[in-house]
Structure 1
């Protein structure tokens, strides 16, 4: 299904080649006719929005959405298993499923990375698409609803997946969760880590702690390589050599 292939490209970290291919992706979505009018038009509006902006701006927006926190993680099992040990076994099972269908992963990719998952499905028959996309649909609905709350045009990607795979029984619950949940705690904690690092390093006046009384430190003194600026590396961007 070429539409799934196009959605996968639009969902991955934006690169120069992807930006240049936007007209081609739009043509795929128009020509295959796998979507109803509303989800198709929303996808085309997203493509128009991406085409109208500089690549650097698109990349910055993408990182702020998908790479800073867990609420919009593009890894399926983050939303299903979190940090539990079940996540590891689920990864192994999904990777083995890919292999059984002749799909070998690059070592840099995580098997539950949604753009990769969609790339795989785009090569499969309707039964496989329906079964696997249906299993993942609660996560897709939740991500689409969270992006809708942020008024992000990227919500169109997940609404399109819902149109292709059919909605799920939990759809209303997922949308209620997105509408009523608080801020992403992983982002809040990340900001707290930044603040604590700066206070400890720049404002420690205790000689025993290795600090100094200088309240106007010079530039480039914060040990940024030790601060977890991003929650998780983007496997798609790594594979493309963009980060």
Structure 2
């Protein structure tokens, strides 16, 4: 039986996914396991896809997960975890998106720190931090879902741990949007 998540549970899942998409640390495997556990009741398909990432994070030494993160997201331009880059490349449109995101973050008192505002982890952390669900729904529908779909298609193999993480996130976002009337 699939259960409906509360708004708070949604926001907490955004924050868990955000932690999984930033540079890994010693808690990454535990965060992945918690995220998967929370997905099981509301979206078993997303939980199942996340299992590959969680298993890898639990089995690999921390240095191997760090190497995989760097090789995937920092050294290979196809996999850059920046929504604007995935949607627009290095263009004027991306620059405008960065400006708009910075304005949106300021309006909501959100600080992205030193990271660019279109980084997947920052967008997820922002969405998990603010209570204005309408602006969040627009970000999910117009930016996150298309960028995730683009990122997924760039992976050469289907068994890459970060691909399974991205697929899990996309499945969860799509399901939440569809089944809960964009109550993100």
Q: TM-score band, normalised by the shorter chain?
A: 0.7 to 0.9
Aligned counterparts of 1:83 and 1:46: Cα–Cα separation in 2: 29
| Counterpart-to-counterpart distance in 1, 2:173 and 2:166 | 10
* Candidates 62, 66, 72, aligned match of 1:59: 66
C-alpha separation between the residues in 1 aligned to 2:147 and 2:15?
A: 19
CA separation of 1:103 and 1:63: change in aligned 2, threshold 3 A: same
Question: Which has the larger helix fraction?
Answer: 2
Q: Find the counterpart in structure 2 of residue 206 from structure 1.
A: none
Structure 2 CA distance, aligned partners of 1:15 and 1:36? 26
Any gaps of 5 or more consecutive residues in structure 1?
A: 168-243
Do the aligned partners of residues 60 and 88 (structure 1) sit closer, same or farther apart at CA in structure 2, a change above 3 Å counting?
same
Bigger-Rg structure (1/2): 1
TM-score between both structures, scaled by the size of structure 2 = 0.77
1:5 Cα offset (Å): 1.2
- 1:116 and 2:122 correspond: yes
Structure-2 separation of matches of 1:68 and 1:92? 25
Matches within 5 A, 1:1-150: 1-16=11-26, 18-19=27-28, 22-31=29-38, 35-106=42-113, 108-125=114-131, 126-136=133-143, 137-147=145-155, 149=157
- Pick one of 156, 160, 171 that aligns with 1:152: 160
Kindly provide the CA deviation profile for residues 47-94 of structure 1, in whole angstroms up to 9, marking residues without a partner as x: 121111111111111111111222100111112222223322221111
Larger RCO of the pair (alpha carbons < 8 Å, separation 6+): 2
Which stretch of structure 1 is more off in the superposition, 134-143 or 30-39?
30-39
Please report how far the alpha carbon of residue 135 of structure 1 lies from its aligned counterpart in structure 2 after TM superposition. 0.8
Where do 4+ consecutive residues of structure 1 move more than 6 Å? Answer: none
Cα distance change of structure 1 residues 32 and 127 upon mapping to structure 2, 3 Å threshold: farther
Q: Which runs of 5+ in 2 are unaligned?
A: 1-10, 176-184
Match of 2:179 in 1: none
- Classify the secondary structure of the residue corresponding to 1:149: coil
- The 8 Å contact of residues 105 and 111 in structure 1, kept in 2 or not, is answered as yes
